[in-house]
Amino acid sequence: MPELPDVTVYVEALAARVLGHYLQRVTLSSPFLLRSAEPPLADAFQQRVTDVRRLGKRIALGLENDLWLVIHLMIAGRLHWFASGARRSGRRALAVFEFDNGTLTLTEAGTQRRASMHVVRGTAGLRDHERGGLEILDASAQQFAARLRAQNHTLKRALTDPRLFSGVGNAYSDEILHAARLSPVTLTQRLSDEETARLHAASLEVLQRWTERLRSEAQGQFPESVTAFREGFAVHGRFRKACPVCGTEVQRIRYASNETNYCPRCQTGGRILADRSLSRLLKDDWPRSIDELESEK
């Protein structure tokens, strides 16, 4: 799922192309994309774009008449821009947004249709799509600590809860926790002040560094390589690959359709966290430490 760095670069690229231009029409090929009925989508046609902003992991397109289109790409949704006169790709689009200077398409890989769009009116309607998460890049260390300790969750859950923190998901939470040298299963209310400060600093560093890197890679063009598995990540998506800090094999915890990746030497004191999908089957054969795992090779 596109997270804060990816959505930020999307928003900047869109703003550079559509601010001040007119949205002429929107064509939907999937009846499941539009999740609202009032105001009608047609009210957005022939309206000038006045704002483009990020709402957590959502993209909000502001139009005249106090209208907003709120787009949530979910896991597999992606946006593509084609300037006027440019040939569009053959990829089937769930939605085609025609502007007076080009076309924006929304595609979604796979067969599950999770991406969504809402048409809302005014700040009140927009507020319904704000989950209340703290904007880490705008928060002080004290604000970050207060939000982190407001509830007692694991660090992984806290960082990815949009009601607590805005724009952070599975990928960048793994990277933040590795940079902070903290276990994903540590409870938030058990963190020391030093560990909390370390987590705040790591959150700022990772989100700022990757936003700048993605911005630099795009070089002013519309971002096309939006993915949760990036070259240069330390642990996310790198199961059984070497940690760039200590060389230990990256481990994982799998649950549902997600997984958490971590380095057992850098983050858990050498302890391997139980992967429920395997440990139930292996029982006593499941190694409890990285030393035990490596001794079996």
pLDDT of residue 294: 44
| Nearest by Cα to 221 from 53, 79, 97, 73 | 79
Q: pLDDT for 80-98, tens place per residue?
A: 999 998 888 777 899 999 9
C-alpha 105/C-alpha 58 separation (Å) is 16
Which residues pair with residue 106 across a beta bridge? 79, 95
pLDDT of residue 196: 98
Percent of the chain with pLDDT over 70: 91
- Angle (CA) 251 255 258, round 5°: 80
What domains appear along the chain, each with residue ranges and CATH number? 4-127 (3.20.190.10), 136-295 (1.10.8.50)
Q: Report the range of poorest mean pLDDT among 49-58, 140-149, 271-280.
A: 271-280
* Count of positions (residues) in the chain: 297
- Of the pLDDT bands very low, low, confident and very high (cuts 50, 70, 90), residue 276 is low
State which H helix or E strand residue 121 sits in.
strand 116-121
- Of the pLDDT bands very low, low, confident and very high (cuts 50, 70, 90), residue 288 is low
pLDDT at 201 over 90: yes
| Nearest by Cα to 49 from 124, 112, 102 | 102
Q: pLDDT for 49-59, tens place per residue?
A: 999 999 999 99
Tell me the mean pLDDT in the region 29-56.
95
The most confident of 19-23, 108-112, 267-271, by mean pLDDT: 19-23
pLDDT at 284 over 50: no
- Of the pLDDT bands very low, low, confident and very high (cuts 50, 70, 90), residue 72 is very high
pLDDT of residue 295: 43
Tell me the mean pLDDT in the region 210-219.
95
C-alpha 136/C-alpha 92 separation (Å) is 36
